[in-house]
Structure 1
């Protein structure tokens, strides 16, 4: 029996060996190489594994959090921008995707196939192509400002406006003057940014990118919710309605709990993708205006491939990886199944 099990284990390893070798060569090895680069001051010339490459240890990491300077300021600015981006995009795209899935799953809707394809179409279109289209649509003389002009509204310079949305809202209601903010909010703050900067909200330019991303990503998540909705037995909803439950009660007490695994998947994928946003930033703004659309992923690229500080750029990537892992674990803990006595 022992010999048979040994042979089975050996056969199993022989079958998976090609995949293990490929993953090790093309995934694990590059990650370990990048980790080494993040501990050096490599400038991209020659091999990073030469003895002449300065080894700086964790200096590239501490520079992002503890040392005063432009590196920490830019990194914290990118984190602030990305936090607002994640906090707005993930809930909006999840709610919109679920709403679209409920609509196209309705048996009363005619032409469901057409609407499914129409809602999903932006998700399969090139993000670069859609970004270029949005640049024209939201230009100063573009279609959006022309449409606002019909109602007597002077549209902003969407991709050149660095003002924070929260600052604009506070100024509109007369609580705070954005041109002269309270000294208590500008005199201090964590990680090199003042509280006024942390509480600025996404800029007008970042808000435009958010609208683009929510529109283009909701179709993919709609299909996930649609597949989950079609797996729910119709008899459960009919039984709940026979017991006197209304449509809202059926959705809240029957449909939504059964969608919890899919909801966790959608939130996790949305969280990962929003922290890794790069394409739209690269095409539409390059981190401008005034670094209000700068994100950690684009800052990593900019630091490594434009400033030739590959150690610092790689360190930003690993910090971003750690942020994604921690937030995913927190989300999993929040959405875990709770057993009640």
Structure 2
């Protein structure tokens, strides 16, 4: 206990205590003036939370819009970055590959580069006259105004076949005040650019995790599968992937947490625009607290986001659990 006491003290003062203070702030109407622990600050109880789920108004609409945006972000980024990281690790792990150090460094380099710097570069790349639109123009495709286009990609695809308005069945109000047409819009064109950035910058880190796991797999199983006549696909599916289950759980968990907490790319590239289609709960919490001076509501959004991350992590752990044959 004497040896662990300094670490416990540091974690308690700089981690646990601020969390408890933020939880108290989420139950008050503090506006940032003075101390939130004085009697002058009104105690509102769970009002900051109920406004997000039950009360009609801008607060609930913005929060549900941010949840919708982040859901699409998670559903696209986590599988893509995991698959890309595994593919890169499998390529580098090949014994006959020359220049392994170069490729490993090149793939990992975006992960250690400043996210702000990369976000600025992507702003120039996806500008109206940027490199991406110039490349599309070379193939006769008119590139969109990426960070000014608020249309969801599902709506864009439906518009290409003549469906420009919501069908009657989807124009009704769906969960938490948003219409089904809004829920099923897909990520916006602007969000797709941010998704591409995040996949590119995070895959390198997860590649190293997969690569470390691949290099620690027992070679006896590889030799046994070759003796049994397994082809390359069968060896990957029945020998390699089952042994990577712990690494998959780690990569998916870190990816899930990171995508739900996405902030800096949103802050630099879009500020939640256009038309709030890149608004995320993390950025909404920041905007509510530090720009609108509603610190209680901002803290409440943070704790709801924390519960969402915990719930989805537990669900993911249940999905990836090792099932023993009965």
2:9 is matched with which residue: 17, 21, 40? Answer: 21
Write out per-residue CA displacement over residues 31-59 of structure 1, whole angstroms, 9 at most, x where no aligned residue.
00000000000000000001010000000
Aligned residue number for residue 222 of structure 1: 207
Aligned residue number for residue 303 of structure 2: 318
Pair 1:266 & 2:251 matched: yes
Aligned residue number for residue 107 of structure 2: 119
Aligned residue number for residue 241 of structure 2: 256
TM-score by length of 2: 0.99
Q: Secondary structure at the match of 1:340?
A: coil
Alignment of 1:19-168 (within 5 A): 19-168=7-156
| TM-superposed deviation, 1:171 | 2.4
Pair 1:197 & 2:182 matched: yes
Write out per-residue CA displacement over residues 222-276 of structure 1, whole angstroms, 9 at most, x where no aligned residue.
0000000000122211210110111111111110000000000000000000000
* Inter-partner Cα distance in structure 2 for 1:277 and 1:298: 8
Alignment of 1:287-306 (within 5 A): 287-306=272-291
TM-score by length of 1: 0.95
Are 1:299 and 1:313, in contact at CA under 8 Å, matched by a contact in 2?
A: yes
| TM-superposed deviation, 1:187 | 2.3
Q: Secondary structure at the match of 1:14?
A: coil
| TM-superposed deviation, 1:151 | 1.4
Unaligned runs of at least 5 residues, structure 2? none
Q: Secondary structure at the match of 1:99?
A: helix
* Inter-partner Cα distance in structure 2 for 1:168 and 1:140: 18
* Inter-partner Cα distance in structure 2 for 1:132 and 1:243: 52
Q: Secondary structure at the match of 1:116?
A: helix
Q: Secondary structure at the match of 1:324?
A: helix
Write out per-residue CA displacement over residues 157-208 of structure 1, whole angstroms, 9 at most, x where no aligned residue.
011100001111222244xx22x22122112211010000000000000000
Are 1:241 and 1:247, in contact at CA under 8 Å, matched by a contact in 2?
A: no
CA RMSD of superposed structures (Å)? 0.8
Aligned residue number for residue 339 of structure 1: 324
Are 1:79 and 1:296, in contact at CA under 8 Å, matched by a contact in 2?
A: yes
Q: Secondary structure at the match of 2:3?
A: helix
Q: Secondary structure at the match of 2:11?
A: helix
Q: Which has the larger radius of gyration?
A: 1
* Inter-partner Cα distance in structure 1 for 2:113 and 2:143: 27
* Inter-partner Cα distance in structure 2 for 1:203 and 1:331: 26
Task: Work out the number of aligned pairs and report it.
Answer: 326
